[in-house]
Structure 1
């Protein structure tokens, strides 16, 4: 089932029953196999249990394979920024089936990112003038259907449902027109806002039902794709005008919220892409706060020490695995600062890193106390040399090597 080179801990293949926070984080250098391990985990969970698998791939070069299972729910960055509109619409359709919990979670996501707790939509009819629409409203239902919907290859009952929903939208829009002149009717449509704090009231406009038929209506040249808007301090923001980080967080979390069920598997690859440092540090906590009622099994692959430190600090059940040479090693639970995480988990030493000094001083003390030999001390420095890039650090390491030799020489004298 797995590549023979990979040794994946059994904890990642099953749900934890002792803690509500089943969070596992895989770290490691590029090429260590983190993303491939996630793809193999997805395959395993789809084959060996009856749980939904939600995949969030933030890298354009993810390793997840296409899968036809109805339990496989991928959201991939490779599909592009414009796909976020479709994701958001599909998420609202799913949430409408179970509005109470899911909508509350969605509201929390919008507020966290800094937006108002509402989402706006606007529908444009294609190539329709003001006079055309006025004429249509003077006709009866059958003539309207014949006029606009007769060529759609669907059952009559569904055609009538579409008509009913379009009529609701048109009536609502006409009541809220702010301008009246001879420009196209499209320009008079107000944005319909779904207030996430009053979802049941917003739902009466039934625009969510139109999302289900949007593809049919666009394909038959009746409407343009439905526009999506956000609001920040009551200022209207087209969805695609939001920053990459805002879109990534909103889209992925709303997607998870709309799909998750009891004991869902959530696999996330490189969530830090485009995220503000504050959001990286709080990412795992926010995710757990949103999904904890469903007790999911979460596995995250990341390059971000901020995500790791935030998880260790805020999520009691978080386990950290280091990927190296196609193996995963569980790391001892401890609260580390960013410099320590860079060195211990990512084998990276930052310029002006005080941790580097502390580590070396500790080893020098051991050398002086004859707890280690000069040969072992110099071997200890080898991987540090390999991971430093700053000239000042290299110069410091050269000086430390000479200092170690002096310590041994003085010991002999």
Structure 2
């Protein structure tokens, strides 16, 4: 569960201020929230363009809230309360906190008096705002309630989106006050749509709340009359309660406009409250006229609370996801706005739509009906449910097609490494591969030495080709005693099979262990109680000569720890090994005893508890096992040392980030520093990778000679991305040399800018010379 901290702090401050209302029972809660707004905004300093609107709005709100009583005692109570709660937020009650709290209270008043769920304007603004983030045309609110859309508007100017004057004067004043304290100029208009808007391919947003009336607002009967009255290129976005949407009546009402070219682009079902109830679901209908030259299937999207695939996303993230799916369906580029897309949403978009739009089960389906026939509109959720067999399966992590292609190569087993930050989806990707590899009729084995792996414990019909060989002995627990017994049993199998024994010895030698093995009587089995038991049984290098104890439960597997400067070689039982030594032995025995030709081992974070030398050696161990048994490995890791040492034939490394899974080139994985900076956005002191990356970008920009666009190479964007990874939050630790390297990136950025300007000037001169010769 996650919450926006800033919004929650604002809510807590507002609620604390409203508790004073119990001392003034003659004032309604609604009016009391307006008094709190006036108190918070008193004394705000605003720039010239906003002053007169702010003053007029405050005066109108004061008249609405104060016409029956004096507010002297109330102001004193507010001042006392603000002193008490000044430490509730991350800082004092500064201007920003006052404005946010006043904005919240204005919204609260508007929504309480209009019976609107508090999350509704946020969800609509997120949905419509994400769609319009890729457009250069205005959104026109025909029925503004909170003007939330304008709060999140890209500030190309200081004005709000155009809005029709609300029929309610108090609502107009409240919207004006909200916008001006946020330093946004309210752009209201009345009567006919101005030409400046009408000729700019606008989107008309009609959020048809309980008090909306088309005739009252526009003087026209319905949407069809409006579209016919303004026949220029435009979109029409209509928000309807899903439970009350009557699509047949809607079709009938828009028929005249549909005959004149109005078409349906999309129907999007979303929720306006976290509560799971169909009454909280809304549908955004997107119509257009004179926008699309060719017939195109319309799109149905369901991001409502009923879509269980999206449970990790909040309401706004779901709405943003829907908006950008629509953008992709419209073939609009979303890379330019990628920084504004939440990471969870970006992960899904990259995972599902990296190659363009595709149908996705439970999420979005195109309607390929008869484009020449009459328009038909369905409920988005119902249409998607009725076409649930169409489209690819929903997937929150990256598409593993490149990995599957490597695994499906019959001539060469592969050792594949996936590195990425916490939360990138590495474990989810391994679980996805269980199903995808199983579809290739290949066996998968899950290997993990930690308690937090997410592999399924048992076999099911869905993963009957999967076997779990991790450390967990139950869903969320590791039992040391059971684990020791399991390891001893696995060792017994290895020591009597020459092929397995040779593989185990080779790996142990590679890791620095002595290749001598024992079965040791468990400490609690004292000789006086079991006189016939032998304390130590040494195993031979020949599997045929090894005799496993009959009473194996009384014994424990033991290995020889190498000699050190101050200690001779020692025989150590498994339970007495360090955690790293236990993990590496469990890993090897689990793999060797289940390895078969064609098996794919899915290994989750094998570096846990391993020292650096063993982390460096692990890729060679996996390579040796892969060659001996003809099996493949997919390893999810946080350890850059695994990536930099995965250099044997058949080794491949991938970087997982925000649903993208590019394969790392040799130059990208040649050093730990470059992987730590590129993959984790973490700077190490005096990082050489920064210097080398800057030099590479500048050199490539010089070599491109104006062709960088054709090469899909954006040197400035690459340097911006590098600088973003280098930023240090205020008060956070900065590594030695970090500021100097930040300055280096900025200098490289300036140099590339000048270089591109010179190239552009040279290109323009060359073009002019060509034109002169033609003349």
Fold shared per TM-score above 0.5: yes
Q: How far 1:90 sits from its partner (Å)? A: 2.6
SS in structure 1 of the partner of residue 737 of structure 2: helix
Distance in 2 between residues matched to 1:120 and 1:296, nearest whole Å: 29
Instruction: Please give the TM-score of this superposition, normalised by the length of structure 2.
Output: 0.39
Q: For 1:377-396, what aligned pairs fall within 5 Å after superposition? A: 379-386=720-727, 389-390=734-735, 392-396=737-741
Q: For 1:14-413, what aligned pairs fall within 5 Å after superposition? A: 15-17=407-409, 19-46=411-438, 48-68=439-459, 69=464, 71-76=466-471, 79-95=478-494, 99-111=497-509, 112-122=511-521, 184-186=528-530, 189-203=533-547, 206-207=548-549, 209-211=550-552, 214=553, 225-232=554-561, 235-311=570-646, 313=647, 315-334=648-667, 336-363=670-697, 379-386=720-727, 389-390=734-735, 392-398=737-743, 401=746
Distance in 1 between residues matched to 2:718 and 2:489, nearest whole Å: 59
Paired residues of 2:514 and 2:561 also in contact (CA < 8 A): yes
Paired residues of 2:415 and 2:651 also in contact (CA < 8 A): yes
- 2:80 counterpart residue number: none
Q: How far 1:124 sits from its partner (Å)? A: 7.7
Q: Structure 2: any 5+ residue segments left out of the alignment?
A: 1-391, 563-568, 709-713, 759-775
Note closer, same or farther for the CA distance 1:5–1:195 as it changes in structure 2 (3 Å cut): same
- For each residue in 1:7-64, what CA deviation from the matched residue of structure 2 results, as whole angstroms up to 9, or x when unmatched? 4233433634354341111111111100111012123334x25443221123432121
Distance in 2 between residues matched to 1:230 and 1:375, nearest whole Å: 56
Paired residues of 1:113 and 1:250 also in contact (CA < 8 A): no
Distance in 2 between residues matched to 1:13 and 1:402, nearest whole Å: 42
Distance in 2 between residues matched to 1:367 and 1:405, nearest whole Å: 12
Note closer, same or farther for the CA distance 1:341–1:21 as it changes in structure 2 (3 Å cut): farther
SS in structure 1 of the partner of residue 546 of structure 2: helix
**Stretch deviating more after TM superposition (298-307 or 319-328):** 319-328
Note closer, same or farther for the CA distance 1:125–1:279 as it changes in structure 2 (3 Å cut): closer
Paired residues of 1:27 and 1:303 also in contact (CA < 8 A): yes
Q: Structure 1: any 5+ residue segments left out of the alignment?
A: 129-182, 215-224
Distance in 1 between residues matched to 2:702 and 2:598, nearest whole Å: 54
Paired residues of 1:253 and 1:287 also in contact (CA < 8 A): no
Note closer, same or farther for the CA distance 1:375–1:326 as it changes in structure 2 (3 Å cut): closer
Distance in 1 between residues matched to 2:420 and 2:508, nearest whole Å: 31
Note closer, same or farther for the CA distance 1:357–1:100 as it changes in structure 2 (3 Å cut): same
Paired residues of 2:469 and 2:590 also in contact (CA < 8 A): no
Q: How far 1:359 sits from its partner (Å)? A: 2.2
Distance in 1 between residues matched to 2:401 and 2:681, nearest whole Å: 25
Q: How far 1:333 sits from its partner (Å)? A: 4.0
Distance in 2 between residues matched to 1:245 and 1:272, nearest whole Å: 9
Paired residues of 1:244 and 1:274 also in contact (CA < 8 A): yes
Paired residues of 1:121 and 1:226 also in contact (CA < 8 A): yes
- For each residue in 1:85-126, what CA deviation from the matched residue of structure 2 results, as whole angstroms up to 9, or x when unmatched? 223223135436x71201111222333342342122326897
Note closer, same or farther for the CA distance 1:305–1:70 as it changes in structure 2 (3 Å cut): closer
Note closer, same or farther for the CA distance 1:364–1:333 as it changes in structure 2 (3 Å cut): closer
SS in structure 1 of the partner of residue 601 of structure 2: strand
- For each residue in 1:323-373, what CA deviation from the matched residue of structure 2 results, as whole angstroms up to 9, or x when unmatched? 111232222344612222223333332111122123234445678999799
Q: How far 1:381 sits from its partner (Å)? A: 4.7
Q: How far 1:210 sits from its partner (Å)? A: 3.3
Paired residues of 1:27 and 1:302 also in contact (CA < 8 A): yes
Distance in 2 between residues matched to 1:43 and 1:376, nearest whole Å: 37
Q: How far 1:2 sits from its partner (Å)? A: 5.5
Paired residues of 1:103 and 1:196 also in contact (CA < 8 A): no
SS in structure 1 of the partner of residue 656 of structure 2: strand
Distance in 1 between residues matched to 2:642 and 2:718, nearest whole Å: 32
Paired residues of 2:685 and 2:736 also in contact (CA < 8 A): no
- For each residue in 1:249-271, what CA deviation from the matched residue of structure 2 results, as whole angstroms up to 9, or x when unmatched? 11111111111112111010111
Distance in 1 between residues matched to 2:429 and 2:737, nearest whole Å: 37
Equivalences, count? 338
Q: Answer with 1 or 2: which has the greater Rg.
A: 2
- For each residue in 1:280-327, what CA deviation from the matched residue of structure 2 results, as whole angstroms up to 9, or x when unmatched? 11211112213423211210011111101111x2x1111211111123
SS in structure 1 of the partner of residue 684 of structure 2: coil
Which of 4, 9, 12 in structure 1 is aligned with 2:403?
12
Note closer, same or farther for the CA distance 1:70–1:378 as it changes in structure 2 (3 Å cut): closer
SS in structure 1 of the partner of residue 665 of structure 2: coil
Paired residues of 1:107 and 1:196 also in contact (CA < 8 A): no
Distance in 2 between residues matched to 1:367 and 1:37, nearest whole Å: 36
SS in structure 2 of the partner of residue 75 of structure 1: coil
Paired residues of 2:615 and 2:641 also in contact (CA < 8 A): yes
Paired residues of 2:677 and 2:725 also in contact (CA < 8 A): no
**Stretch deviating more after TM superposition (284-293 or 295-304):** 284-293
Note closer, same or farther for the CA distance 1:347–1:186 as it changes in structure 2 (3 Å cut): same
Q: How far 1:80 sits from its partner (Å)? A: 5.0
- 2:380 counterpart residue number: none
Distance in 2 between residues matched to 1:101 and 1:240, nearest whole Å: 26
Higher helix proportion, which one?
Answer: 1
- 1:172 counterpart residue number: none
Distance in 2 between residues matched to 1:281 and 1:367, nearest whole Å: 35
